[in-house]
C-alpha cells in the first residue's frame, strides 16, 4: 500500500522524508521517490525496488530543500517503473504531488485533459490530479487544489507543492488517512501514518474527509469542502456511453469494474490478497472465530456466497443475515466475532442500523462499500472499497460481481492468515486474476441471450434453481427478473425443488437452471430431469464444453470454466442480461423499476 510524506520547515527535508518513508515501508511497496525544492528548481529522484536504491541514487548529491515530498508506491495503475513511481508532476514541472488511494474516474479525466493538450508520462491514475491542478493553477495552489478535487471521484490522501507558489505545502484527504505533525520550532510534516511523523512532531492533527490543509512556515489552516453533494450531481449527469440504458452499460462494464476492484490487491506468487483498508485491524481479524455478514437485497445475495467461500477456504464459521432481521432480533454475538457488512451505496438504513447495534455490543465492524465517504464507511472500523464508480441503474449488477470478487479476496486474506495452503492460495489468486477476461467472453454472447429472452418473454411464472455456490445465484437471477420485467420468478435451492415448487411445473412454467460443471453438477442434472419429466421448459447456464446438457434442456447459455468458488461471478452475468432483455421487450423502465429506489435510506 502506498505511503506519502511531505515536509515544510527549517531543516533539510531529505533525511526527514527518507525516515518517514522508512517508517511507512511496512505498508508494502515496490518503488519510491522524492522531490525536493530549495526555492530554485525542484529536483525529483525515483527508484524501483527497495528504499536503499533510492538512497543510493541520492548519495553524493547533497540534495537540500526546505520543502519536499516522498512516496513509497504499491503498483495499482501501471507497472513497477520509475515513470509510474511518485512524485508526479504536470506538463511544466510546476505542480508536484504524491498520492495514496485510487482515482476512480482517472480514465475520463485523462481523456479530457489530453484533448486540452496535457501530455502524460506515466500510466498512473495519480498523474491526472497533477494535470488537473495545473489546469486550474493561477498562482494560488490551494485554490487550484480545491477546484481539482471537486472533479475527482475515488479515495485520496494527497500532498502537493508548486514551484510557482513556493512557500506552501497543501494536503487533501478523502477516505485515505492523512496526518499533520507539528514541530514547534522546526516545521510541519504530513504523512499517511502517524509513525512517520513521530520523530519530528510533538503534536498531530488528523485531517478529516474533504478537508484541505494549507501549511506555510508560520502556521496552517484547514479548508472544508462539501464534496459528497457534488458527487451525486456528477453521478446523475454521467453519460450512458452510447448504451440505451444505464443497466446495460453497467453490465457491459463489468470486466473493467472487476479490474478496478482487483487492482493492486493480488499477490499471485504468494497466493495472498493485499487489502490496505484492513491494515489497522489485521491483528484483530487474525483472532476472529466467527463472521457475521449483514446486507440487504443483492448485497445480501453476495453475502450468502461469502458464507460458502469463508467456510470452505478460510475455515471461519459464517452466518449471513438480512440487515433488517439482524437489527430487530437478538443476535448472539460471541467473543471474537466480526461483523462484515456489504453495501453498494453505503447508506442503506437497515444495514447501518445493524452496524450500530453490533458496535454497541463491542464487535469489530468491517465494510465492503462502493460509495466513498458514505455513512457505512464512516461507521465501520475498517473496510474495502469496490472502486467501480457510480452505479446508476436501480438493479445492482456491476456492484454485485465486484462484491463477490472482493469476498474472494477477503477469503484469501483471512484464509492465508489461517490454514489455507500456499498452493491453493496461488491457484485461487490466479483464477481471480482471470475473471475480467472471462466475464468479457460471456458478454460477447449478448445477442444469443437476447434471442433466448425473446423466446421466453411471455412466460408468467418461473423459477431459478442452483446449488452450493450457485444457490444464491438462483435467488439473484429471480430477483433481477422480478425487479426489471415484473414477471414472477422464485429462486429455489435445487434440493428444495421437490419440497414444494415442483408442484408449479407444467408446460407453461420456465425453469432457469444454474448448473456449471462443479461438485454438485450431477445433482443439478437430477433437478433438471424432474422438471423436464413434468414438461417444464428449461434454460441451462452451463460450462463451455458441456455438450451433453443440450440433450436434456431447451436452451443453453455457456460460461467459461473457472474454480468452483468463482463460478457465481460468471454465472450471474447471463442472468443479468436475460432479465435486462426481457424487461426491455416488455417495455419496462429498466433503469428505474416502478416502486423501487436505488438507495433505501428509510426502513
600 lies in the binding site for ligand G6P (CB under 6 A): yes
Give the interface segment with ligand G6P, choosing from 113-121, 168-176, 390-398, 500-508 (CB under 6 A): 390-398
Do the beta carbons of residue 347 and residue 601 sit within 8 Å?
yes
Candidates 272, 296, 320, 489; binder of ligand G6P (CB under 6 A) is: 296
Cβ atoms < 10 Å from Cβ of 356: 13
Give the total of residues touching ligand G6P (CB under 6 A): 16
CB of 367 to ligand G6P, least distance (A): 10
CB of 345 to ligand G6P, least distance (A): 3
Give the integer Cα–Cα distance in Å for 425 and 270.
Answer: 7
260 lies in the binding site for ligand G6P (CB under 6 A): no
Give the integer Cα–Cα distance in Å for 21 and 85.
Answer: 14
Which helix (H) or strand (E) is 433 found in, with range?
helix 422-443
The alpha carbon dihedral of 56, 59, 63, 66 has a sign of: positive
Residue facing ligand G6P at closest CB distance: 297
Give the interface segment with ligand G6P, choosing from 181-189, 227-235, 393-401, 536-544 (CB under 6 A): 393-401
CB of 356 to ligand G6P, least distance (A): 15
481 lies in the binding site for ligand G6P (CB under 6 A): no
Candidates 16, 201, 299, 478; binder of ligand G6P (CB under 6 A) is: 299
Residue 345 vs 567, nearer CB to ligand G6P:
345
394 lies in the binding site for ligand G6P (CB under 6 A): yes
CB of 543 to ligand G6P, least distance (A): 27
Burial label for 80, CB within 10 Å (0-12, 13-18, 19+), is middle
Candidates 344, 365, 386, 411; binder of ligand G6P (CB under 6 A) is: 344
Residue 90 vs 350, nearer CB to ligand G6P:
350
Give the integer Cα–Cα distance in Å for 14 and 575.
Answer: 56
**Quick check: is 135 catalytic?**
no
Residue listed under C-alpha cell 453519460: 239
Burial label for 392, CB within 10 Å (0-12, 13-18, 19+), is middle
Active-site choice (2, 44, 341, 463): 2
Active-site choice (163, 424, 523, 598): 598
Say which DSSP state 26 is in.
G
598 lies in the binding site for ligand G6P (CB under 6 A): yes
386 lies in the binding site for ligand G6P (CB under 6 A): no
DSSP 144-194: HHHHHHHH--EEEEEEEEETTSTT-EEEEEEBS--EEEEETTTEEEEESSH
263 lies in the binding site for ligand G6P (CB under 6 A): no
Q: Which distant-in-sequence residues (6+ apart) come within 8 Å of 201 by Cβ?
A: 181, 182, 183, 189
Give the integer Cα–Cα distance in Å for 432 and 407.
Answer: 11
Candidates 297, 383, 462, 472; binder of ligand G6P (CB under 6 A) is: 297
351 lies in the binding site for ligand G6P (CB under 6 A): yes
Residue 517 vs 599, nearer CB to ligand G6P:
599
Q: Spell out the alpha helix ranges (H) of 30-69.
A: 51-58
First to last CA, the chain: 38
592 lies in the binding site for ligand G6P (CB under 6 A): no
CB of 357 to ligand G6P, least distance (A): 16
- For residues 96-135, which are near ligand G6P according to CB under 6 A? none
Do the beta carbons of residue 119 and residue 110 sit within 8 Å?
no
Candidates 348, 511, 527, 567; binder of ligand G6P (CB under 6 A) is: 348
599 lies in the binding site for ligand G6P (CB under 6 A): yes
> Residues 220, 222, 225, CA angle at the centre, nearest 5°?
160
Candidates 298, 337, 543, 571; binder of ligand G6P (CB under 6 A) is: 298
> Residues 375, 376, 378, CA angle at the centre, nearest 5°?
65
Residue 43 Cα distances to 65, 67, 96, 137, 447, angstroms:
9, 11, 10, 20, 55
Give the interface segment with ligand G6P, choosing from 72-80, 216-224, 330-338, 339-347 (CB under 6 A): 339-347
Candidates 10, 427, 596, 601; binder of ligand G6P (CB under 6 A) is: 596
343 lies in the binding site for ligand G6P (CB under 6 A): yes
Paired strand residues for 339? 292, 365
CB of 368 to ligand G6P, least distance (A): 9
396 lies in the binding site for ligand G6P (CB under 6 A): yes
Candidates 345, 365, 527, 571; binder of ligand G6P (CB under 6 A) is: 345
32 lies in the binding site for ligand G6P (CB under 6 A): no
CB of 595 to ligand G6P, least distance (A): 10
**Quick check: is 463 catalytic?**
no
Give the integer Cα–Cα distance in Å for 437 and 317.
Answer: 32
CB of 507 to ligand G6P, least distance (A): 33
Paired strand residues for 388? none
**311: Cα separation from own chain's centroid:** 22
368 lies in the binding site for ligand G6P (CB under 6 A): no
Residue 194 vs 392, nearer CB to ligand G6P:
392
CB of 588 to ligand G6P, least distance (A): 15
Give the integer Cα–Cα distance in Å for 154 and 173.
Answer: 11
CB of 343 to ligand G6P, least distance (A): 3
Residue 192 vs 380, nearer CB to ligand G6P:
380
Give the integer Cα–Cα distance in Å for 67 and 168.
Answer: 8
Burial label for 57, CB within 10 Å (0-12, 13-18, 19+), is middle
CB of 568 to ligand G6P, least distance (A): 15
Give the integer Cα–Cα distance in Å for 354 and 465.
Answer: 30
409 lies in the binding site for ligand G6P (CB under 6 A): no
Which residues are catalytic, by number?
2, 598
Q: Which residues bind ligand G6P (CB under 6 A)?
A: 296-299, 343-345, 348, 351, 394-396, 596, 598-600
Amino acid at each position: 500500500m502506498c505511503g506519502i510524506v511531505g515536509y515544510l520547515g527549517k531543516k533539510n527535508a531529505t533525511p526527514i522524508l527518507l525516515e518517514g518513508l522508512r517508517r511507512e515501508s511496512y505498508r508494502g511497496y515496490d518503488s519510491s521517490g522524492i522531490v525536493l525544492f530549495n526555492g530554485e528548481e525542484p529536483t525529483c529522484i525515483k527508484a524501483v525496488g527497495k528504499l536503499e536504491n533510492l538512497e543510493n541514487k541520492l548519495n553524493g548529491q547533497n540534495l537540500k530543500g526546505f520543502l519536499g515530498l516522498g512516496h513509497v508506491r504499491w503498483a495499482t495503475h501501471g507497472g513497477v517503473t520509475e515513470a509510474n513511481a511518485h512524485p508526479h508532476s504536470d506538463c511544466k514541472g510546476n505542480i508536484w504531488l504524491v498520492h495514496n488511494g485510487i482515482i476512480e474516474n482517472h480514465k475520463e479525466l485523462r481523456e479530457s485533459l489530453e484533448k486540452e493538450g496535457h501530455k502524460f508520462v506515466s500510466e498512473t491514475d495519480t498523474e491526472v490530479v497533477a494535470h488537473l491542478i495545473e489546469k486550474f493553477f493561477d498562482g494560488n495552489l490551494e485554490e487550484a487544489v480545491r477546484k481539482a478535487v471537486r472533479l475527482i471521484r475515488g479515495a485520496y490522501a494527497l500532498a502537493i507543492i508548486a514551484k510557482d507558489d513556493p512557500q506552501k505545502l497543501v494536503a487533501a484527504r478523502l477516505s485515505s488517512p492523512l496526518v499533520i505533525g507539528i514541530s514547534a520550532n522546526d516545521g510541519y510534516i504530513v504523512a499517511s501514518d502517524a509513525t512517520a511523523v513521530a520523530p519530528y512532531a510533538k503534536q498531530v492533527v488528523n485531517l478529516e474527509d474533504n478537508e484541505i490543509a494549507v501549511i506555510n512556515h508560520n502556521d496552517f489552516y484547514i479548508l472544508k469542502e462539501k464534496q459528497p453533494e457534488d458527487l451525486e450531481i456528477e453521478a446523475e449527469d454521467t453519460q450512458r456511453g452510447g448504451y440505451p440504458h444505464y443497466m446495460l452499460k453497467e453490465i457491459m462494464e463489468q470486466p473493467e469494474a472487476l479490474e478496478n476492484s482487483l487492482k493492486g490487491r493480488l499477490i499471485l506468487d504468494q497466493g495472498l490478497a493485499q487489502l490496505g483498508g484492513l491494515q489497522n485491524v489485521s491483528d484483530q481479524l487474525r483472532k476472529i472465530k466467527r463472521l457475521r455478514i449483514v446486507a440487504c437485497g443483492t448485497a445480501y445475495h453476495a453475502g450468502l456466497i461469502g458464507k460458502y467461500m469463508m467456510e470452505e477456504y478460510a475455515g471461519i464459521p459464517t452466518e449471513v443475515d438480512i440487515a433488517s432481521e439482524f437489527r430487530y432480533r437478538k443476535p448472539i454475538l460471541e467473543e471474537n466475532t466480526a461483523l462484515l457488512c456489504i453495501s453498494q451505496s453505503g447508506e442503506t438504513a437497515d444495514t447501518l442500523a445493524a452496524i450500530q447495534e453490533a458496535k454497541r455490543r463491542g464487535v469489530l465492524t468491517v465494510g465492503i462499500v462502493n460509495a466513498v465517504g458514505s455513512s457505512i464507511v464512516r461507521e465501520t472500523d475498517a473496510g474495502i472499497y469496490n472502486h467501480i464508480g457510480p452505479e446508476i441503474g436501480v438493479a445492482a449488477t456491476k456492484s454485485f460481481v465486484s462484491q463477490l470478487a472482493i469476498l474472494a479476496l477477503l477469503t484469501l486474506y483471512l484464509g492465508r492468515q489461517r490454514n489455507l495452503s500456499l498452493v491453493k492460495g496461488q491457484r485461487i489468486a490466479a483464477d481471480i486474476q482471470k475473471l475480467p477476461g472471462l466475464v468479457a467472453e460471456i458478454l460477447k454472447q449478448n445477442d444469443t441471450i437476447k434471442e433466448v429472452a425473446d423466446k421466453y418473454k411471455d412466460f408468467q411464472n418461473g423459477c431459478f434453481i442452483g446449488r452450493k455456490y450457485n444457490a444464491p445465484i438462483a435467488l439473484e437471477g429471480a430477483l433481477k427478473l422480478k425487479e426489471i420485467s415484473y414477471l414472477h420468478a422464485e429462486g429455489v435451492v435445487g434440493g428444495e425443488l421437490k419440497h414444494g415448487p415442483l408442484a408449479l411445473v407444467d408446460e407453461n412454467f420456465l425453469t432457469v437452471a444454474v448448473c456449471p460443471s462443479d461438485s454438485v453438477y450431477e445433482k443439478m442434472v437430477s433437478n433438471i430431469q424432474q422438471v423436464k419429466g413434468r414438461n417444464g421448459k428449461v434454460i441451462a447456464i452451463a460450462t463451455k464444453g458441456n455438450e451433453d446438457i443440450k440433450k436434456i434442456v431447451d436452451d443453453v447459455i455457456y460460461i467459461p470454466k473457472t474454480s468452483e468458488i468463482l463460478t457465481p461471478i460468471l454465472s450471474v452475468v447471463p442472468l443479468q442480461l436475460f432479465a435486462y432483455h426481457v424487461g426491455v421487450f416488455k417495455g419496462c423502465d429498466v433503469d428505474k423499476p416502478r416502486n423501487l429506489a436505488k438507495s433505501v435510506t428509510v426502513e
